[in-house]
Amino acid sequence: MKLVMISLVMLFGLSSVAQAQFAGENLLVGPPPGFKLGFQESRGGVSIQEWVPDGETVQNWSEMVTVQLFQNRRDLDPRAMLDTIQRGWLKACKGSAPAPIVAVKTNGYDGATMVLRCPLNGETGKPETTAFRAIRGRDSFYMVQRAVRSVPDASRLERIENYLASVSVCDTRSAQSPCPNLGGRQSK
C-alpha cells in the first residue's frame, strides 16, 4: 500500500530520500516545523497519519495535522465530503456555526476548503478550530486537516490556512498536474 510519507519526505529535504523520483499520483504535504509523527495506520484502503508538536502525543495535543489518503476513491467529491464533516461537527459541538465550503483548484485537481470552530469541545473542555483541505485526484481522494485546541488569533489562523494552501497533488503521468523537480532531476 502506497503511504503518504513517500512524497512527504522527498519534499522536506530528508537527504536519504531526496534522490528518489515521483511515480504516478502523489500527495505533496509534510509536517510543519517542530512536528513529529504521532500515529500511522493503513486499513481498508484508507491511510492516515497524525502529526503533533514535539513533546506532545495524539492523546494530549495542542495542535494536530491529520493526513488521510482514500485509495482508489476518485468518486468522492471534496465539497460533499466537507459538507458531511460539517454536519457531524455541528451536531457534536454546541454553539458552533456553519462555515462556508470554498471550491478550489489545486494543480489541476478539484478541491475544497473550510474552517470550523467549536467554542467548547465537550470531550476536552477546550475550544477547537480545524481547517480542512480535500482534493479529488485521478486515482485517489486526499484530505488534510490542521486543528488547534484554542481560539487562534488572526495571524495563527493565517499560518494554518497558508499551510493547507501549500498542500497539493501531482501526477507524473499528467502535464496538467506536474510534480516538482527534486534536486535537478526531472520527474517522469
115 within a domain of the structure (yes/no): yes
Contact 172, 180 (CB under 8 A): no
With a cut of 60, say whether residue 45 has pLDDT above it: yes
179 within a domain of the structure (yes/no): no
Residue 179: half-sphere exposure toward Cβ, Cα within 13 Å: 27
Task: Give the C-alpha distances (Å, rounded to integers) separating 126 from 33, 54, 129, 150.
Answer: 24, 20, 10, 7
104 within a domain of the structure (yes/no): yes
Contact 109, 174 (CB under 8 A): no
How confident is the prediction for the chain on average, in pLDDT? 86
With a cut of 50, say whether residue 79 has pLDDT above it: yes
What pLDDT, on a 0 to 100 scale, did the predictor assign at position 16?
35
Domains in the chain, number: 1
Domain limits for position 51: 5-171
128 within a domain of the structure (yes/no): yes
Contact 117, 157 (CB under 8 A): no
pTM: 0.86
How confident is the model over 112-149, as pLDDT tens digits? 999 999 999 988 899 999 999 999 999 999 999 999 99
180 within a domain of the structure (yes/no): no
130 within a domain of the structure (yes/no): yes
Contact 25, 107 (CB under 8 A): no
What pLDDT, on a 0 to 100 scale, did the predictor assign at position 153?
93
133 within a domain of the structure (yes/no): yes
How confident is the model over 154-181, as pLDDT tens digits? 999 999 999 999 999 999 999 999 988 7
186 within a domain of the structure (yes/no): no
Domain at 51, CATH number? 3.40.1000.10
Cell numbers for 67, please give them: 493526513
With a cut of 60, say whether residue 37 has pLDDT above it: yes
What average pLDDT does the segment 8-20 reach?
A: 37
Task: Give the C-alpha distances (Å, rounded to integers) separating 58 from 18, 36, 64.
Answer: 28, 10, 8
Of all residues in the chain, what percent carry a pLDDT higher than 90?
Answer: 77
The rounded distance, in Å, linking the Cα atoms of 178 and 25 is: 10
3-state secondary structure 80-124: HHHHHHHHHHHHHCCCCCCCCCEEEEECCEEEEEEEEEECCCCCC
